[in-house]
Each structure stands twice: as C-alpha cells, then as structure tokens.
Amino acid sequence: MDHVGSSQDFFGFLGVDPVEPDVTFVVFVPFEPDDPHAEKLYLAEIRTSNSTPHPAHCFSTLSRRELTCAGGRRRSVPLPDASMTKALLQTLRPHQWVKNLFAFAPLVFSRELFHPISALRAGGAVLVFCLLAGAVYAINDVLDAPSDRHHPVKRHRPVASGRLSAAAASAAAMALIAASLVGAALLGVGFAITASVYLLLNLAYSLKLKTVAFADVLSIAAGFVLRVLGGSLAIPAPPSRYLLLCT
C-alpha cells in the first residue's frame, strides 16, 4: 500500500486489483474516525493499461477492503484500516503456535518441571519453534499469494490482499529465521540441528510436500516428533522412546 498524497480531509492510497493486475486505483479516503463496519463513500480514480484514468464513486462493504464501484463491480483494494503490524501478526499466525508446546513435554515427563534452568531452556526451545513457525507461515503466504488471490477465503490474507507487501513478509521471515537459529545454537548443537531440520522440513512442505498425498500428513507428524526431540535436547534429557512413539 503506497501513500500517494494527502490533504487536510483526505488520504490517498494506491490499490491494485488482485484479479486484474493491470487495474489500479487511487483511493481517497476521508481522514476521520468512523465505524469500521459502516458503508462510506470514497472517490477512486481507476487506471488501466488500456485506457486513461477516470474517476469512479465507490462505497465500502463490511470488510472495508472491497469497493463496489460504478456498475456494481467489486474490487479489493488495501484501505488504511489495518496497520502493517497487525497484518504482519496475522501472517505469522500466533494462534497456531500452541502446537509448539509439545517441546515442553520432555520437561514434564523428565520430572524437571520445577527445575529453573531446565524450565528456562525448555521455554527457549518453544520460543525458537514459534519463531520458525512464524517465518514459515510468512514464506508460505508469499509463495501462495498468486493463487490465494483467486480463493474465496484465502484472498483476504494480508499478503494476498495487499495489506502486507511480499517484500515486508519476506524480510520478517528472514529476520525470524536468523534470530531463531542464533537462539537454537545457544541451546546446544543437538537442538540447533533439530531446529534446522524442522525448518527445512516445513519449507519443503510449503514448496511441494503439501500437494503430495501421504507426504503432507507424514511431514506434519514429523514436525511434532521434532518438537518433542528438540525439547529433550534443549533441557537436556534423554529422549523417551515411548514419548516419541506416542507423539
């Protein structure tokens, strides 16, 4: 979303139609607090590669990122009701990070739950897996953005909808990977290798394995085993064969 101009009463933003990339909008949005679910008029200048710019009066739907313009045509454009920080958090999917709590399992079953050093190291292992998971989600959204734009639900994801640029998502992913690998190294060589394998497995899943029957399920299952193994190596405590098999 690029800022293209402003005045006392309006802000201008540049939007690109995800269905027809050659169609762009300069959307002038009233700069005033209002109900985010209210329908409100906007003035948009439509630009196409085959015609000169022409103005169009539009109004927003409940999502405020979809405009219905003259002729009833709906177009998704990035309006400034969501900050980049919020869009980035949505891309990293922190609500999915609960799965990384499996790295705490060895701490519990080794009866070192109340040992401060072990608990701290196990917490560090969980944090590393969370950072890696967030990075993989961001990379996945960048890779899938072209197809997501044609999906009825996924087209609202921050990267696909244009609320977060692919460059910003990629930069955040690289930063998270760098931070997580440094943290993994601090927890020992064994854990660092496990975390690296977890990262490579998830990248392979995003690139190819999720479209391969059985391989997709096996890679997800392997991810849980790697979390438990990583938790054991981080404490450190010998990994329980029974715990790994149950996982």
Give the model confidence (pLDDT) of 88-132 as tens digits.
999 999 999 999 999 999 998 887 778 899 999 999 999 999 999
Show the tokens assigned to 167.
Answer: 């460059």
| Calpha distance 13→17 (Å, rounded) | 13
> What is the mean predicted confidence (pLDDT) over 226-244?
84
Report DSSP letters for 140-158, one per residue.
Answer: HHHHHHHHHTTSTTGGGSH
What residues form DSSP beta bridges with 124? none
CA 237 to mean position of chain CA atoms: 33
Would you say 87 and 158 are in contact if contact means Cβ atoms under 8 Å apart? yes
Show the tokens assigned to 216.
Answer: 């997709």
What residues form DSSP beta bridges with 15? 25
> What is the mean predicted confidence (pLDDT) over 59-66?
41
| Calpha distance 180→127 (Å, rounded) | 8
Name the range with the highest mean pLDDT among 14-23, 34-43, 55-64, 80-89.
80-89
| Calpha distance 206→186 (Å, rounded) | 27
